[in-house]
Structure 1
């Protein structure tokens, strides 16, 4: 998230972005309507002080944004009590799954499906596939609690790419059917988004994208892979079939400015 904000700043000298550390997590604002306007990782280093929360909430409010916090269930329960007293409301849940890369991981794909790296010459196509897939979410499981305008979503994905995300496309019978991203940092492989176009769903595209990225993460020397999904979703089921296990569930808590 912090690197995405820095990418936003490089692209816009007048950007009002910020990054602040908060009790083991990061509070960030990357621009109006951005998915990176939130607090992630809160509670992995104790309970935040009221003063620190005041500063973060004022920073979001000054930019006309709600204060959104992702709170892992492994955090101190006192954090939830503190946030409730400050007017935060529970809006949704998300699951974070992980897989230790201590075994063999090879690319596996159904007949007719090919996953390959996506170069700069087709960046806009890769971006469009992700945006089109997100615009038509899978109806299985708990829905995402928020939707973003296409322009805001694409701007955020551009920032992800600028932060070092590797790009992939999946072809089905020679036609682009899906797209995905992978970010490698300090031995951790972060599965940074994936989407399948509606006409190509239920054909193994997502599983093939997962398999290819796991193989590349293993080859890059990563120790663990992580992915975020909605509870009960097809994405979660696909990840579990690849061996991912639930690491923690995080509550999405929001306080309006």
Structure 2
């Protein structure tokens, strides 16, 4: 476990930093996904971006807006036309610390609130974390990519029964594509957790400007409640601190087991994103 620390305060400046890193990751992965076929796009606006990486992709969304000016009506109309041309709804992930005028604009344009996601963070400060002894975590240097992908995709395909149901579901192939694209586009570090000699879970981490973004964490159903996620968190946090990162962040579903595990490792809730959707 990490050392006990006080809650981390998040203002608009820190939220903007986190949203910039998230936007860069989504845009990079979407640009990789666009190579698989025509119709993809990335549009930078409002300090964030709108992306479409292909039919059914989890990367089809608007992220990071609200920290670089308020988009004009014309910009929203252009984005909505772009999604309409590919037959996809517009999904906006809007941070609560973004300019509040954007939420008012979106509700006025007919966007519906679908769900929320929480962004949590922890200051690293050269600390170390020790994971459960019964779980071994290895960093994948490239020779275990297929194993990592199978474990993570299988884990995501079987949501934790204690978590609230998601408003969206993705086919296995779409999940595999986005995991592969995120890993190849963003210099992502991949980790595999082994329990009793068998692959039990996987996760990833990317670093950008001193910020470590933890993502892609999933545990196979047979290995849940055995410390796998705690081990993966501990390994990534220790590596991030050693790499000189000052902070780590993670995004979770509200009230999920992932949020509970993160808070057990010292993470604090920084802010929430509202997920708003419009059929166009």
State how 1:218-229 maps to structure 2 within 5 Å. 218-229=241-252
1:136 aligns to 2:149 (yes or no): no
**2:80 corresponding residue in structure 1:** 57
Residue by residue, what CA displacement relative to the aligned partner does 1:71-114 show, whole Å, maximum 9, x if unpaired? 111123221221111111010000011111124123x2223210
1:232 aligns to 2:255 (yes or no): yes
CA distance in 2, matches of 1:22, 1:84: 19
Q: Cα offset for 1:46?
A: 3.3
Conserved 8 A contact 1:141-1:232: yes
State TM-score, norm by structure 1: 0.95
1:154 aligns to 2:164 (yes or no): no
Q: Cα offset for 1:30?
A: 1.0
CA distance in 2, matches of 1:94, 1:4: 20
2:234 to 204, 211, 217: 211
Q: What RMSD, in angstroms, separates the aligned Cα atoms of the two structures?
A: 1.3
1:7 to 23, 32, 36: 32
Q: Cα offset for 1:142?
A: 3.4
CA distance in 2, matches of 1:251, 1:142: 16
Q: Cα offset for 1:187?
A: 1.0
Conserved 8 A contact 1:140-1:232: no
Residue by residue, what CA displacement relative to the aligned partner does 1:185-225 show, whole Å, maximum 9, x if unpaired? 11111112100000000010000000000011111111111
CA distance in 2, matches of 1:26, 1:238: 30
Conserved 8 A contact 1:105-1:218: yes
CA distance in 1, matches of 2:245, 2:198: 31
1:246 aligns to 2:278 (yes or no): no
1:43 aligns to 2:66 (yes or no): yes
Q: Cα offset for 1:15?
A: 3.1
1:172 aligns to 2:184 (yes or no): no
Give the ranges of 4+ consecutive aligned residues of structure 1 lying more than 6 Å apart after TM superposition. Answer: none
2:125 to 91, 102, 110: 102
CA distance in 2, matches of 1:219, 1:142: 35
Could you tell me which runs of 5 or more consecutive residues in structure 1 were left unpaired when the two chains were aligned.
none
1:255 aligns to 2:274 (yes or no): no
Conserved 8 A contact 1:5-1:159: yes
Q: How many residues align?
A: 254
Could you tell me which runs of 5 or more consecutive residues in structure 2 were left unpaired when the two chains were aligned.
1-25
1:21 to 28, 34, 44: 44
